[in-house]
Structures are given as structure tokens and as C-alpha cells.
Chain A
Amino acid sequence: MSIEPTSPEGANLGAPAQVPSSPQKGMFGITGTGDVSGFGGLVRPRHEVVGTPKPYGGYFDEVTDALEEAYPGFADAIEKVVVDRDELTLHIVPERLAEVAQIMRDDESLRFELCSSVSGVDYLNSDARRLHVTYHLASMTYRRRVRLEVAVPVGGSVPTVTSVYPTADWQERETYDMFGVIFTGHPNLTRVLMPDDWEGHPQRKDYPLGGVPVEYKGAEIPPPDQRRVYQ
């Protein structure tokens, strides 16, 4: 079954999305004459994710070296290696994800037996590949953690890792449900948290939160995504 990407996702439901623009401008989420604070001209740039140069420190060097040794396609498959806040992230070419996961699990010196968590992040307005999927792997043998991250455009697909980590089944379904990332080869890629006939993918940044204004003691409080907020 081929699933064609539908767009714009969720734009036909409720209020228009209050999307933080990038680079983020202003401070209160409003533009024009409404802002009398003088902070309307503030610009907050989006930060690039840059690769970390070797040595990475800790066990990170051992992990990357072991993977490089065990996986001949390392140079092609790994886009960049990022070490931040004592966590190792391997950015991977989406098509190679399942291969890398297989080696991460099976290689003697890697042994990431448990796929702890799968989640998605929508980096709206970053570049075309705005949807990121992260896999948090844990090695019980060595007591280590590593994060695999892939980035795909809207309508893009990622090979499933369910054949390597069956536990990713529901978690990939959740990521599909919430972000619309298609996991090719997944045994049962259906919605898991939202109703089956739901339109759009709610965790995307251009999907509105929704809500209705509430009246309290005569004053009307707008729904949370339309309130004036500090950004």
C-alpha cells in the first residue's frame, strides 16, 4: 500500500496555527502595532547543529570506533557525530538506519540490546528535512546510551527497525501518528494514539493546538496558542 503525503497537514482544523517564525522575531508572539514594548525587533537566530571533532571523550570514541570497524559503510551512512551534554548522537542517512541498528545491536563491542525510546521532533523552518526521528539505544552490557537520529522531509520515509528491535513497533506507530513519518517495512503502520480517521499529525509544529476562549469574570481568555507569550 502506498501512502501519499497529504498537505497541508491539519491546516483545515480549527484556528490557524500560531507558528513561531524562524529566525524568531519579537518577544511576545505578535507583530504589527500590537507590540508597544519595543522588543518587536529582537531576532533570535536558530542554532545550527554542528558536528563535534574527535576525540569525543568518555566511551563515545570507543562506540564510534567500534561501529566504524564493524560497519564498512560508516563514512557514507553517518552524516555527523554530535556530542552534547554528555550524550552521543549519530546523525544517520535515513536509508541506512536499519543496517546501522542491526550492527549496533549485534556487534560484540557495541551490544545495544535495548531500544529504549523512539520519538520524533519537527524542526519547522530549519531545512527541507524538517522531521527528525530519534532512537535512544541502551547497552545493558556496557551501561551506555547512544542516540541515532535521522532527518526526512515531509512525506519522507525511514526504514523500520522493528526487525532488529521489535519494541520499536508501537513507538514507530506513535511517531507516524504524531509526525507523519512513514516507516517502510513496518508490519502494521497505523495510528496508535489518535483515532483511526483523524486528519493531520498533531505533534507537527504547524498543527494548531486548538482550544476555545474561556470567559472568566467578564474577561475573555484566549486559547493557549493564541495568548501573548514570551518566546
Chain B
Amino acid sequence: MTQSGYASERETTEGRVFTVTGGDWDTVTGSIDPLSNEKIVVNMGPQHPSTHGVLRLVLELEGETVTEVRPVVGYLHTGIEKNLEYRNWTQGTTFVTRADYLAPLFNEAGYCLAVEKLLGITDQITERANTIRVLFMELNRISSHLVWLATTGMELGAISMMLYGFREREYILDIFEETSGLRMNHAYFRPGGVAQDVPESAIKKIRDFLVYLPKKLKEYEDMLSGQIIWQERTKGVAVLDVTGCLAMGVTGPVLRASGLAWDLRKTMPYCGYEDYEFDVPTATTADVWGRYQVRLAEIRESLKIVEQALDRLRPGPIFVADKKIAWPAQLAVGLDGMGNSLEHVAKIMGQSMESLIHHFKLVTEGFRVPPGQVYVAIEHPRGELGVHAVSDGGTHPYRVHMRDPSFVNLQAIPAMAEGALLADVIAGGASLDPVMGGCDR
């Protein structure tokens, strides 16, 4: 390997030391005639409020026009995929949920569906488990889109939208907390079902929310849509047509805002989405405005699905019947979060030794998954979330790769922003709704 150009290195007793001098900076600036050449290079991020986390954009500007954008990612890489290989299949949900932290339930759903497909138990998932999954995924989609509305509002100058968006999201997080014990990073979906049943109190909260949100949503739409600044900042900005989207692999609301009604819930249904009635909203403007319209409409469609899912919720088991896979404990939310229910602890410790053995084996060893590989894709709030899972027949995942929509969509920033104004980079980047936890994994 050749010596890297920007940082010299030397060996010391404490290890290798890199010296970053930036010494060529004077030659770079000195060679530019400020009168004839106004080209400047601006480093935006990784610590910048409008980059949704730790995204870094290297911008080349001429005046206020962007001539080149180079997105730099990886600042939030946490090695989730590598870590998965050292835990058993069930523990995997605890890791993947932390990837895209605004849509944790989608990460879990994608992962669980992949494991279930590997196990060949996809059609044994109980109806109640599937309905709960759909219900919670759609609530999560709403909360994710609300954060998008909030952050994008803030970045384009509507600070009040930020406060409102986060406030409404808090309602959904309360529902999640009531059910799984945690506001985020739930590890609620497990291979084979869901960790525990939805309590009646959470159902009531969801019903209240269904009445509450539409009114508020209308207020926010009234507040933003008629706003001349909002229109100026979004209409005709960061245009990416269908061809561009497909070439760059952009899916989700951005693709639908360019006119292609590609929604995996409709086109390649999973979890019983084919039985729900909802529309796939599209726009034809292919700009930030269109993406805003599509996301607002999607929140409304999700509310429809949530309502249908609530009506479909019939009492029944929430885990597959196969006791070799189903989690042995009946979990319950206690004061300190979710754990084994007291009845289950009493049973395995006091009454049934076989139950104790079974519990111990399944929790410490986990279940074996037949060797092979699968690819499962679901419709994430940001696009296609794909999980490529490989098993070697053991109790640990051999390899799990997450195709996160944020990672793929971010490639499109140069295509959307080059040649436009600097302010439009912010609007365009925000309209992709990147979440760096998912992008960098």
C-alpha cells in the first residue's frame, strides 16, 4: 500500500501515530486567484443540525451555486451486522432494532421475517401476531413521518412544526412503552411472533390517538401548505424523476413522489398486508413538495390501516405453536421494563423441572436454523428495507446484511443538489429523510 496522502504516520512505543497537518492548505488557497475564481470548498457536517445526525457533505461552491457534492458517511458505524454473528437468532432483534432508530420496529420486522423464512415457518405465524405487527409497524411509520415533518420543518425555518411533530410522536412512543416497556429500541418483534400481547390500556390509547391525530394533521397542513416560504423552499427543489430514482436505487416516498406507485405492501405483500384496504399516495412533481404531500397522505393511509388492524385484533396466541422455537417465557412489563412474568418464574422454579430445562436450553442455546440464505424486503418509511440472512445450520446467524434505505437513498444527493443553490441541498437532503443510524449500521 502506498503512503496515504493526507496524514503521515510513524511508529511509537504507544502504537502508530498519525500526524494530520493540513500543510498543503496554503498551496491550495494560494494557487487560486480570488478575482477570477470564486470556487470554495465547504465542509458541512458531520456535526451540523440539518444533516440528521452525522452526515458529512463536502460541497464545492461557486458563489451560492453548488457544483459538486460528496456525501461522506460511516460516522455512526457500530458494527451491528458483525455483532449479530456472535449472538443467537433471537438476540439478533435487540441489535437490528438499534440500526434505524426512528423505525426500530421495521428493522425488527425485516429481520424476523427473514429468520422465519429461513426456518420455513412464515405461514405458521399466528393471525394475532401478524395483526399486531401490522398495527405497530403502521404506528411506527406515522411516528417516523412525524419526525420527518418536524425536522424538515425546522430546517426550512418552521421551528414550531418541529415542536408539534415531536409532541405528536410522543403519543406513539407512549403506546410503544405501554406495550413493550420501551420507548425506542423495543426488541418487541421476535422470530416466531411478538414478545408479549398488547394490553387493553394500549388499545385504548391507540383509539384515542386515531381521533386526535387527524385534527392535528389538518392544522399542520394548513400551517405549512399555504405558507409562501414553505412553497418557495420546496416546489421545484431537488427534483429526481423516476429514471433517476431507479438508477440510484431510491425507493419509498421519494420514488412515489416522482410518480411510480411502488409500495412493497401492495406489490409484494407480507404480514397479510394484502387484506388491508389502503391507497398508495403518489405525486408527479418529483420535488420536495411532492415528497411532503406523499408523506402527509401516507400518515393518513397508515391511520386507516391502524384502524382496520384494531378491528381485526382477535384473541389468540401471539407466538408460533412450535415449542422448539417459541420463546418459553410469558413476558410481562414490570416496573423496570419487560421481563419474565411472575407466573412463569413461579412455574419453572417451583413446579415443573421440565419447563425449567426447556426454558434454559432455549434461552441460552437458542434454536437451530436450517442452512441457506434468504432475502426479505419490506416497505420501510424511507423505502425498501432488505434483509439478507444466511444460516450455516447453527444457533447464530452466519451473516445478516441490512439493505437500509437511508444508505442507498443518500447516494442520490449529488444528483439532486448539483447545480442548485446551497439552501436547496438542505431541503433536498431533508426530503430523503436519511437516518444515519440506519445508513451506517
Contacts and interface: CB of A to CB of B under 8 A. Distances in A.
B4 A197 contact: yes
Interface in B69-128: 73-74, 77, 79, 81-83, 85-88, 117-118, 120
B392 interface: yes
Contacts of B396: 229, 231
A117 B375 contact: yes
Given A116-B384, A167-B411, A193-B77, A84 B372 contact: yes
B386 interface: yes
B82 A44 contact: no
A85 B374 contact: yes
Interface stretch (B168-176, B243-251, B307-315): B243-251
Contact of B411 (A44, A117, A120, A170): A170
Contacts of A168: 249
Contacts of A209: 79, 82-83, 85-86
Interface stretch (B55-63, B292-300, B343-351, B363-371): B363-371
Contacts, number: 131
Contacts of B81: 203
Contacts of B79: 202, 209
Contact of A167 (B260, B390, B408): B408
Interface in B266-308: 267-268
Given A117-B375, A193-B74, A171 B408 contact: yes
B199 interface: no
A194 B18 contact: no
Interface in A155-195: 165-171, 174, 191-195
Q: Which of B79, B88, B373 has the most CB of A within 10 A?
A: B373
A206 interface: no
Contacts of A225: 86
Interface residues on B, range: 35 or more
B18 A169 contact: no
A122 to B, nearest CB: 7
A169 B249 CA distance: 10
A119 interface: yes
A194 B249 contact: no
A198 to B, nearest CB: 10
Contacts of B374: 85, 87
Contacts of B9: 197
Contact of A114 (B246, B372, B401): B246
A174 to B, nearest CB: 8
A119 to B, nearest CB: 4
Contacts of A197: 4, 7, 9, 18
B118 A85 contact: yes
A194 B78 CA distance: 10
B411 A169 contact: yes
B74 A192 contact: yes
A223 B84 CA distance: 14
Interface in A9-32: 20, 24
B74 A194 contact: yes
B388 interface: yes
Nearest to B78: A193
A44 B391 CA distance: 13
Interface in A79-127: 84-85, 87, 89, 113-117, 119-122
A47 interface: yes
B280 to A, nearest CB: 13
Nearest to B16: A197
A140 interface: yes
B434 to A, nearest CB: 12
A230 interface: yes
A78 B96 CA distance: 34
Contacts of B371: 47
Given A192-B73, A203-B81, A224-B87, A165 B408 contact: no
Given A24-B394, A197-B18, A230-B365, A166 B74 contact: no
Contacts of B248: 166-167
B96 to A, nearest CB: 14
B440 interface: yes
B388 A167 contact: no
Contacts of A224: 83, 86-87
Interface string A189-215: 001111111000011000001000000
A26 to B, nearest CB: 12
8 contacts: A84-B372, A85-B118, A134-B375, A145-B375, A166-B247, A203-B81, A203-B82, A231-B396
Interface of B: 1, 4, 7, 9, 18, 73-74, 77, 79, 81-83, 85-88, 117-118, 120, 246-251, 260, 262, 267-268, 364-366, 371-375, 377, 384, 386, 388, 390, 392-396, 398-399, 401, 403, 407-408, 410-411, 440-441
Given A114-B249, A121-B373, 8 more contacts: A84-B373, A134-B373, A171-B408, A193-B77, A202-B79, A209-B83, A230-B365, A230-B395
Interface of A: 4, 6, 20, 24, 44, 46-47, 84-85, 87, 89, 113-117, 119-122, 134, 136, 138, 140, 143, 145, 147, 165-171, 174, 191-197, 202-203, 209, 224-225, 229-231
Which 4 pairs, one residue from A and one from B, show the smallest C-beta to C-beta distance?
A167-B249, A117-B403, A119-B401, A230-B365
